Structure 1
Amino acid sequence: MTDNIPQSIAASDLPQPGQPLAGGIFVTRYWLNGQERALVLLPASAEIEGEWGEYGQDVIGARSYSDGEANTRAMAEAGSHIAVKAIEGAGFIPSSLEGQLVMAAKHAGLVADLRQDRWYWLSSQSSANLAYYLDFSDGGQSTSVKLLEARVRPVRRKFL
């Protein structure tokens, strides 16, 4: 990420989940690729809307179910407008796992501004034609064709 927000934070400096952190709301701590991270949900004003990407284009680097940042970078390199916008906003599109972590925070009452009348793209690709999305009304995850318009709620991470 090319932002002015420090990429790491001491675990002792983390607020309670649901409290402000790094321009968003602290969701939870989690481990990915041997590194502990803090997941931050960016505000509703950072939401993006658009197609996931090109129908029929296999974005090989966007197959991770856990690493949304790597998926988003691969999507951007493949020409995804929503991925480019997420990166420009110093965030990334959550993976399937990271989306479920946000859903768990919503269920616990820690985040309240997620729309329940629309579904949100995740960065995890299912196939050359399909990508995952999350419905914040019930936490359901499924796939849809990449050329459909949906919302994206970017997140960012902080290394601990």
Structure 2
Amino acid sequence: MTKQAQQAVLAAELPERGQPLAGGVFVTRYWLNGVERALILLPDELSGPWGEYGVEIKGAGSYSDGDANTRSMAEAGSVIASKALELDGFIPSCLEGQLLMAAKAEGLVDLREDRWHWLSTQRSADSAYRMAFEGGWLYYNGKFNERLARPVRSLPIQ
């Protein structure tokens, strides 16, 4: 039997930032596409290339919507995107990566500092954005490179 993932969270039931929520750690509240949401860092760590070098993926260029980016990546054959979706999560966008960095800087979440992490925001047919959680560096790199990906989940706040 498959466990049904939590689909939303009541505002009155939100824990303090840095506390457990929906299988991960509650990072922060944020607005996306006109909906207030709770960003949750999942405990899983994935590794692999972002996707195929030289192939631009339509729908994977959002700087704010990691879920939409990740779904587009998976449809184009990205293994790490498919794995993130199997966890009922997604690879964070540039915005969501910055929110993770802010929570890390405040001591609310633990993120590896020894490796670059993929973000789901595509820069071009050849590259996608990556982040170093050592100091919050945001840059881009060839999609074929092996990097970590730390999935997140986002729930509407009701």
What TM-score do you get using the length of structure 1 for normalisation? 0.96
Instruction: Kindly report which structure 2 residues correspond to 1:24-63, keeping only aligned pairs within 5 A, or say none.
Output: 24-43=24-43, 46-63=44-61
**SS in structure 2 at match of 1:62:** coil
Contact 1:3 1:90 in 2 (8 A): no
Aligned length: 156
Counterparts of 2:4 and 2:80, CA distance in 1: 21
What are the equivalent positions in structure 2 for 1:6-85 lying under 5 Å apart? 6-43=6-43, 46-85=44-83
TM-superposed CA distance for 1:63, in Å, is 0.3
- Superposed counterparts of 1:110-129, under 5 Å: 110-112=108-110, 114-129=111-126
Q: Hey, what's the Cα distance between the residues in 1 that align with 2:4 and 2:147? A: 29
Write the distance in 2 (CA, Å) between the matches of 1:132 and 1:3: 33
Indicate if the aligned counterparts of 1:25 and 1:111 stay in contact, CA closer than 8 A: yes
**Structure 2 SS opposite 1:58:** coil
Find the counterpart in structure 2 of residue 5 from structure 1.
Answer: 5
1:93 aligns with 2:91: yes
* Cα distance between partner residues in 1 of 2:149 and 2:130: 9
Moved over 4 A (4+): none
Q: Is the 8 A contact 1:83 1:92 kept in 2?
A: yes
Cα RMSD for the two superposed structures:
1.0
Amino acid paired to 2:54: G
For 1:54 and 1:42, locate their aligned partners in 2 and report how far apart those are by CA, in whole Å. 25
TM-score normalised over the length of structure 2? 0.97
Distance, in Å, in 1 between the alignment partners of 2:103 and 2:3 is 25
Query: How much does 1:5 deviate?
Result: 1.6
Name the CA distance, whole Å, in 2 between partners of 1:52 and 1:131: 7
User: What SS does structure 2 have at the residue aligned with 1:4?
Assistant: coil
